[in-house]
Structure 1
Amino acid sequence: MTDIALATCADLPSLVDDDASFVEALRNRGATVDPVVWSDDAVDWSDYDVVVVRSIWDYYERPAAFSQWVDELAAAPCDVWNRPDLLRWNSHKFYLRDLADSGVPTLPTAYVDRGSDVSLAALFEDRGWEELIVKPAVSAGAFETRRIASDDADAAQPWVESLVADNDLLVQEFAADITAGEWSLVFFGGEYSHAVVKRPEAGDFRVQEEYGGSVHVETPSDGLRTQAKHVVDVITDRFGGAPRYARVDGIERAGTFRLVEVELIEPELFFRVDPAAGERLADLVVPPN
């Protein structure tokens, strides 16, 4: 029997409903499956054969504690999904620069180190942008993320200076075409599984459901799937092995897939849109006899 911990956060001690088919598939394979709060100091992770990181959606609020936890997982005699080195790399959004340097099309981005002098007015002038997005490099769920127009640069400058005092930042050209939808393509073991399109509420740019965004089941073209898989392949080459699960988020522009984010830590995997998706991932965790 395989003992599996599905790591979650204190606010979601029973996981999210979307993971139900995955949990059922694991249990149908004879595994013992426990939702376990990642930040619970009383947990001995070596009690488990496998730790699958799922809904640890507050990790970015406690980066030092998260880093310590990843170190604990790396030292424990259990299999960690995803691997600790992937978790560390993906927890800081400057990974996008690594992928861009490897030829992955991304959004035009300025990477700003913590404590740096940054002038929004100068960025607008130098880059020729009309609108931009500012976000911390360690964040999730549109936390501290703002859309700023060039006319509002001076008014927003004090906020940016306050944010960069304590955070590395990404400053990106606003992608107006995100209103047409942001693709999320899910890969298990480096192979395509399923996809959805997330669309923001009218007048907003955030695709998260808590901000009014919606999820739509759509089938990506072969070309889009190939380009999204290329992102996973680049990561596979970099780390010497494919992520056990990955959600590749991006927009399609003139036939080119432009990466917005790749989620390797705690992505919603949209099991609910594909009845067989939970089975596919469970087959990797507990291979059939």
Structure 2
Amino acid sequence: MSDNIRATRGEPRVALITCAEMPGLDPDDRLLLPPLAQRGIRAEAAIWDDPDVDWAGYALAVLRSPWDYPTRRAEFVAWTRTVPRLANPADLVRWNTDKRYLRELASAGVPTVPTTWLGPDDDWTLPAEPGEYVVKPVVGAGSLDAGRYDLADAAQRELAGTHVKRLRAAGRWVMVQPYLSAVDTAGETGLLFFAGPDGLRFSHAVRKGPMLVGPDYGVDGLFRPEQITPRTPAAAELAVAERVLAALPSGPDRPLYARVDLIPGPDGAPVLVEVELTEPSLFLGHAPDAADRLADAIAARLD
């Protein structure tokens, strides 16, 4: 290991990658700093698009909160290819930052939320069936540019059509999904996995409450602050998550971390909402020793 990769006293340097709006890291990610220090690893926050950062000087660069990438995805993906030792790797970032990966997972037999995929030039009309639907772009994070619509309401039906047209006019792919009512009752289950000696291992899980409460009006989507509580996943949820990880294009051995978000479908069986391999919140503060388990995974990756 070269001298510039090691800090003083022989400590390896690890970059925790963030964005300019969060230069000091997300509070949850800061929980990782003490256990890394205890393992002799010097962790530093680094902004992904800062031209002065020497990425070659880090023994490992870990994507954590570069949450401004959705409006600059091409630039972000190109940047990942320049970082010598990036977790998760650049090819996974490219695959995972466009939600059309869900089509591949569905084709591989993973149960997913039924989705209509719309390119900028595709013909499409609103579903005739009443019910609630979610409209969102295939490249996005959180509730950015996402909306929830009751198509039985004439005003919301018109807003849903306008939302789709606005995204497509900007050259963006769009996904339209039925809103699963279990979001409001059971909530989503986010299952967190960190790398171990034999691939990704389950660490902990959380319940994620509903966020979207109404239409997107073209400025900011209407959503609630995310409500997070610890959760013990059911055996069926763990089984689906393992199927998701096994179907990743790289297999389950290369990622340093993964978050699999599931929700009960109409029949109560878990279906995949998304698998987060790029910059997911890992909710380290919601499970004992979660930060230590991730610190162990990083230390092993350095070895």
With normalisation by structure 2, the TM-score equals: 0.85
User: Given the alignment of the two structures, is residue 20 of structure 1 paired with residue 30 of structure 2, yes or no?
Assistant: yes
Equivalent residue of 1:26, what SS? Answer: helix
Q: Paired residue for 2:174, among 169, 178, 181? A: 169
User: Given the alignment of the two structures, is residue 98 of structure 1 paired with residue 104 of structure 2, yes or no?
Assistant: yes
AA aligned to 1:93 is: K
Paired residues for 1:130-141 under 5 Å? 130-141=131-142
In the alignment, structure 1 segments of 5+ residues that lack a partner are: none
Contact 2:16/2:46 (CA < 8 Å) preserved in 1? yes
Contact 2:151/2:157 (CA < 8 Å) preserved in 1? yes
User: What's 1:87 paired with?
Assistant: 93
Contact 2:164/2:174 (CA < 8 Å) preserved in 1? no
Identity of aligned residues (%): 37
Paired residues for 1:78-157 under 5 Å? 79-120=85-126, 124-125=127-128, 128=129, 130-151=131-152, 152-157=156-161
Contact 1:116/1:164 (CA < 8 Å) preserved in 2? no
In the alignment, structure 2 segments of 5+ residues that lack a partner are: 1-10
Paired residues for 1:1-289 under 5 Å? 1-73=11-83, 76=84, 79-120=85-126, 124-125=127-128, 128=129, 130-151=131-152, 152-165=156-169, 166-180=171-185, 181-189=187-195, 190-200=200-210, 211-235=224-248, 238-240=249-251, 241-253=253-265, 254-287=267-300
Give a deviation string over 1:137-191, Cα, whole Å, max 9, x none: 1100111111122234344323321211220111111111111211100011211
Alignment CA distance shift 1:114-1:193 (3 Å):
same
RMSD: 2.3
Give the C-alpha shift of residue 229 in structure 1.
1.8
Contact 1:233/1:242 (CA < 8 Å) preserved in 2? no
Contact 1:192/1:229 (CA < 8 Å) preserved in 2? no
Alignment CA distance shift 1:87-1:172 (3 Å):
same
Deviates more, 1:96-105 or 1:223-232: 223-232
Give the C-alpha shift of residue 131 in structure 1.
2.1
Contact 1:131/1:148 (CA < 8 Å) preserved in 2? yes
Give a deviation string over 1:32-88, Cα, whole Å, max 9, x none: 211000011221211111000001111112112212211212xx3xx2111111111
AA aligned to 1:23 is: L
Alignment CA distance shift 1:265-1:251 (3 Å):
same
Aligned residue pairs total 276
- Give the number of the structure whose residues are more often helix, by fraction: 1
Contact 1:201/1:213 (CA < 8 Å) preserved in 2? yes
Give a deviation string over 1:238-280, Cα, whole Å, max 9, x none: 2143421011111023452101111111111010012311111
Deviates more, 1:128-137 or 1:180-189: 128-137
Give a deviation string over 1:2-48, Cα, whole Å, max 9, x none: 11000001111010111123221111111121100001122121111
With normalisation by structure 1, the TM-score equals: 0.89
AA aligned to 1:239 is: S
Alignment CA distance shift 1:172-1:255 (3 Å):
closer
C-alpha separation in 1, matches of 2:285 and 2:15: 21
AA aligned to 1:277 is: A
